[in-house]
Amino acid sequence: MRRSLTFILLLLAYGSTSLAQTEVKELSLWKFSRADNASASRADFDDSYWETVKIPHDWAIYGPFDKEIDKQVVRIEQNNEKVATEKTGRTGALPFIGVGWYRTTLDLPVFSNDKQALITFDGAMSNAEVFVNGVKVGNRPYGYSYFYFDISSYLQAGKKNVVAVRLENQPFSSRWYPGAGLYRKVRVIVKNRENFKHWGHFITTPSVSDNIARVNIRSQVQGENLTVKATIRDAKGNTVAEKVSSERFGNEIEQNITVKNPNLWSPETPYLYTAELKLYQGNALKDSEVVRFGIRQISYSAAKGFELNGKVTKFKGVCLHHDLGPIGTAVNRAALKRQLTILKDMGCNAIRSSHNMPSIEQLELCDEMGFLFLAESFDEWKKPKVKNGYNLYFDEWAEKDVENLVRATKNHPCIVMWSAGNEVPDQWGSDGVKRLKWLQDIFHREDPTRPVTVGMDQVKAVMESGFGAILDIPGLNYRVHLYDEAYQRFPQGILLGSETASTVSSRGIYKFPVVSKPDKTYPDLQCSSYDLEFCDWSNIPEDDFIQQDDKPWVIGEFVWTGFDYLGEPTPYDNYWPSRSSYFGICDLAGLPKDRFYLYRSRWNTKDTTLHILPHWNWEGREGQTTPVFVYTSYNSAELFVNGKSQGIQKKSTQSKLNRYRLMWMDVKYEPGTLKVVAYDDKGKPAAEKTVVTAGKPHHIKLEADRQTITANGEDLCYVTATIVDKQGNPCPNASNRLYFKVKGTGKYRAACNGDATSLEVFHKPTMKAFSGKLVVLVQSSTQAGNMELTVSGDELKEGKLTISTIKE
């Protein structure tokens, strides 16, 4: 008999406190030094010669790349390796190891004994020690954890208050580039002693219908004789419900509020409400918080799988590491939004924060843009994957870290599942089962409304031990050949592809002959974009598509990965200079690879897709077989080479590859025009796409992701620079060196070409193109106006582009 899992819930989004009784100060400007100076914690320490930086900050992203940094001789069990080998790019070959100090001064002129002051960190990489006026107030080892300290008793009224933070990254502490520094926001919150506890609200909706929703608000409070007034407003700011309550259970005041004719949150309609919560002591207003939330209902069951608002929904998801390519791990809202905008166009509806706790900014954007979210906690438990990984801290800190993850983020409507870990070696043996039960119970205690999963790769082991049976949602990383057996052995009646595919490719690179083979390598350290190469533990996308389409009990997948990331350059982790991944559907610059359109043709059911590969510049291959693939939402298409038909291909369930892609395997290359005509189901031409043989590189074409950005000193515009011939055709093999200049109300920030083997640092205003393209990042100043980007290159006509900057 199968166990039915049902979790039904409406959740809210992140609350920001900014009303009269609470002051929130973002600590953005700090002094920074890489020197390990023990006296740097003292309030009277002279930091005048230190560098001034703006938080969020990643000290390591500026390089240089160096193969000796964190060089590891290891056997990666998760990759089925049998012997230890030297890994030189596993953590990105960037200088993240060592100590960094940050110092800043707090300006709190009105602070007094009747106030409480908290300092909050959204993440600090890593082993954070926090000092106020030379006194240590606390520490947090885990670099991805949210944490805060009450610093009220450490402050000196009317005097300069100095905050110092020491961070240290150990060698052999990560499997990818972790970044370094205060890479997420730091804030100081000053409020009355009578207040809402930090992270103290939990809003759910136990019952929902088209006509009515019950919003349950539980608020933890500090102080006596307190009353909470709740006002719920719709997206236009209109009041839709209000309630006042003083009935208290322990430190909690609970309210149930009716919202009529609710607008439900979903990926298609990410509608958000706000709840204004005011705390009174008598007639005195003591604290106020505004919480943005979304009304939605989730359910998991063996009968229907995952349901959102009563509708069966499959996870069309991707895994994302936390680095943002050329700007490293420093959180930037514009960079995150660009990623999500690209994924939305692909038809993606879900994100897995692998293998770490997500940023608040990422969750806010997923709330706003409509993405389901699988929030992950750890890559490691008690048994190590790397020498100095989380195994050192698990016993003391795991419960605290899970508590803070849930408490800080549980009100985001996007989050529909928690992950307690990824491919942990603890999958083996009874001790691992006990650890899983312990962690899952913590998640349930903190949030009884969402299920828990783990990304399991040792599927045979978890079948035998009971590890997989006690999970709320069994998550399988790869192992598609074991899906049927796992479904029969596990009692839940559903499976999740928690990590899938691991197909590898390099944008614009194609290898001949075209073969489907694991761990294929080439002398140029690139992977073929025919999308048939993968790792020996994984598979091509079609293997997962078939599971999703043919088995209703497979509730979805999270592809490894949505974007390339720094570190883990499989299959070239034994080869220098590879220093970033090849797994991405998009490259490190955020440019779509061919595989993007394979997923788009299946996932984006709103728009049509027609994409042709490879490019058609193959000097020296005249007359040789050059297969042509087409990724399309149409079921058939006809290919033409210089007007000569190569025949019509139709999708067919008779073959795994023919089911999802159209292929002409015997095309002989000749320069000219490659054209595909797609036909609708009635056999009529519906769309066409053309690729031509480009001439010599002539000029640079610039295209911005946005023409207008915000003049806040942080906003980014991503400009794609494409080298084209005289007629404007892209030159797919061009590798010219390009140079970047910005004038006006902005500055040059970084560049990235998506080449996993490039050792050019991102922040210098020059870089070689890769496969004819690269991306330039420009950043706004705090002044409104215009900035002009000029991109030039040797023997190329330069490109110019104007971007407007406006005040919010």
Question: Which DSSP string corresponds to 116-166?
Answer: EEEEEES--BSSEEEEETTEEEEEE--TT--EEEE-GGG--TTS-EEEEEE
d(CA 167, CA 60) in angstroms, rounded, equals: 13
Task: Find where tokens 């953005």 sit.
Answer: 28
Q: Are strands 415-422 and 372-376 parallel, antiparallel or unpaired?
A: parallel
Side-by-side strand order, sheet with 186-192: 22-26, 186-192, 115-121, 147-150
Q: What residue type is 270 in one-letter code?
A: P
Active site residue 23: no
Q: Are strands 252-260 and 636-641 parallel, antiparallel or unpaired?
A: unpaired
Side-by-side strand order, sheet with 284-293: 12-16, 284-293, 273-281, 226-233, 239-245
Q: Are 669 and 622 in contact (CB under 8 A)?
A: yes
DSSP state of 625: B
d(CA 594, CA 589) in angstroms, rounded, equals: 14
User: Which two structure tokens, joined as six digits, stand for 757?
Assistant: 């083997």
Whether the link from the prior residue into 552 is cis, omega within 30° of 0, is: no
Task: Find where tokens 């809210």 sit.
Answer: 12
Of 282, 287, 290, the closest CA to residue 232 belongs to 290
CA angle at 411 for the pair 233 and 221, rounded to the nearest 5°: 85
The SS3 assignment for 640 reads strand
d(CA 460, CA 486) in angstroms, rounded, equals: 8
d(CA 649, CA 661) in angstroms, rounded, equals: 9
d(CA 158, CA 765) in angstroms, rounded, equals: 45
The CA distances from residue 421 to 124, 426, 648, in Å, are 20, 10, 47
Question: Which DSSP string corresponds to 355-404?
Answer: TSPPPHHHHHHHHHHT-EEEEE--S--SS-SSTTSGGGTHHHHHHHHHHH
Question: Which DSSP string corresponds to 24-49?
Answer: EEE--EEEEE----GGGGSTT---TT
Task: Find where tokens 């994409």 sit.
Answer: 611
Residue 220: which H helix or E strand, with range?
Answer: strand 212-222
DSSP state of 763: T
CB atoms under 10 Å from CB of 710, counted, come to 18
Of 278, 275, 224, 229, the closest CA to residue 251 belongs to 224
> Length of the chain in residues, anyone?
808
Active site residue 423: yes
d(CA 234, CA 259) in angstroms, rounded, equals: 10
Q: Are 27 and 163 in contact (CB under 8 A)?
A: yes
Collect all residues with Cβ–Cβ distance below 8 Å to 736 and sequence separation of at least 6.
697, 723, 768, 769, 793, 794, 795, 796
Catalytic entry in 499, 542, 557, 760: 499
d(CA 229, CA 643) in angstroms, rounded, equals: 72
d(CA 422, CA 561) in angstroms, rounded, equals: 14
Report the chain's C-alpha Rg in angstroms.
Answer: 27
Catalytic entry in 423, 446, 533, 638: 423
| Residues belonging to the active site | 423, 499
